[in-house]
Amino acid sequence: MADNGIQQTTPAELMTMMAVLQAEVRKIVEQSSKNPGGSSTHARGTEPLEITLPKEKLTLDNPFLEGVMSVYMPKNFVLPTELKPYEGFGDPRIHIKKFQSMMFFNGAFDPVLCQTFPTYLDGIALLWFSKIPAGSISCFEDLARSFIDYFAASRIYVHGSNYLSTIKQGQHESLKDYMTRFTKKATMEIPDLDPKVHLRALKSSLRPGKFQETIAVTKPRTLEEFREMAAGQMEIKELREARRADKPQPWREEEKYPKTPSHKDNKKPFKLTPKYDSYTKFNTRREDIIKEILNAKIIKPPSRKKARIKIRDTSTNRNTVPSIKNSATQPTSA
């Protein structure tokens, strides 16, 4: 029956439709098996299709023209071993410049550069070379431009020129160490640095001192002038250090007689030895005895200085410290 104007299919009708479809599928399979070629194919949907991928080409096409390959290597030519192969990371221009400088030093020329350049490629860079169309390279200039353009995204600019303002001379860093560190960071991390920017950053990053004041007064206009002034300052400092090292140092009193490791052990502690074997014991307090001596003027009073005499009360076993003006020295007793 219809529901909301839409006629619903009954289960019996669905079974009939499925039977018709199965019959059509069997008919297609039978017709396929009767092909003139005699090859039987499976009906679509009965089994997954098998896709055969093209095999990777293992041989390389020669990307160079005949004029490049017709040139032979010079006699006794040796490939440099110091250059590390480029693997697709870093600035490709630096690799090209290093390669050319080393090859020119060994006497190579343009066709030889083309023939030996793949030797210094590895990884994805070597795969790039293998995909260069055959006969598309006529000189090393074409090869270098194609190489730089392909790996342009791999150029790594660690810092820009603004980074130079962060390189400051340390509080205890010598001018020589500062110049070496600054030049290394500027030349290696910032390509194509403007010499004027280089000079301005060098002067502004100096530590406050005499050399900075000298630079502010003389105002060197080129890097060469600045380096000459810096070299002169370094020579002056080295000369002062040499004079300071040659100047004899004053000997201190304790250095004249160096102490031996057992110096302290040789000193014996002070010990008071009694003059007699036995002494008469007092039957009166020491304070009273001292007062009697002072009243009888038996001894000469000391100078007019306040003295504190520590007296032990033998009767009460207490220590008393009376303040006696013009008192005499306490006699020694056992």
pLDDT higher than threshold 60 for residue 100: yes
More confident: 250 or 184:
184
User: What φ, ψ does residue 130 adopt, rounded to 5°?
Assistant: -70, -20
Residue range 228-236: average pLDDT?
A: 89
pLDDT of residue 153: 79
Question: Taking a C-beta distance cutoff of 8 angstroms, is the pair 158, 189 a contact?
Answer: yes
Residue range 216-244: average pLDDT?
A: 88
Question: Taking a C-beta distance cutoff of 8 angstroms, is the pair 107, 143 a contact?
Answer: no
Task: Assign domain 161-246 to its CATH architecture.
Answer: Orthogonal Bundle (1.10)
pLDDT of residue 122: 92
pLDDT of residue 41: 46
Q: How many CB atoms lie within 10 A of CB 163?
A: 15
pLDDT higher than threshold 90 for residue 140: yes
Question: Taking a C-beta distance cutoff of 8 angstroms, is the pair 330, 291 a contact?
Answer: no
Question: 0.85 exceeded by the pTM?
Answer: no
pLDDT in tens, 274-285: 777 777 777 888
More confident: 29 or 92:
92
pLDDT in tens, 42-58: 445 555 555 565 666 66
Residue range 222-251: average pLDDT?
A: 84
Listed in order, the ranges of the chain carrying CATH 1.10.1200 are: 161-246
pLDDT of residue 15: 65
pLDDT of residue 296: 79
Residue 86 pairs in a beta bridge with 121
Q: Tell me how far apart the alpha carbons of residues 98 and 211 are, in angstroms, rounded to a whole number.
A: 37
pLDDT of residue 121: 93
pLDDT higher than threshold 90 for residue 120: yes
pLDDT higher than threshold 70 for residue 268: no
pLDDT in tens, 283-319: 888 888 888 888 877 776 666 655 555 555 555 444 4
Query: Helix 223-246 to helix 195-204 angle, to the nearest 10 degrees?
Result: 40
pLDDT of residue 266: 58
Q: Tell me how far apart the alpha carbons of residues 208 and 226 are, in angstroms, rounded to a whole number.
A: 16
More confident: 33 or 68:
68
Mean model confidence pLDDT for the chain: 75
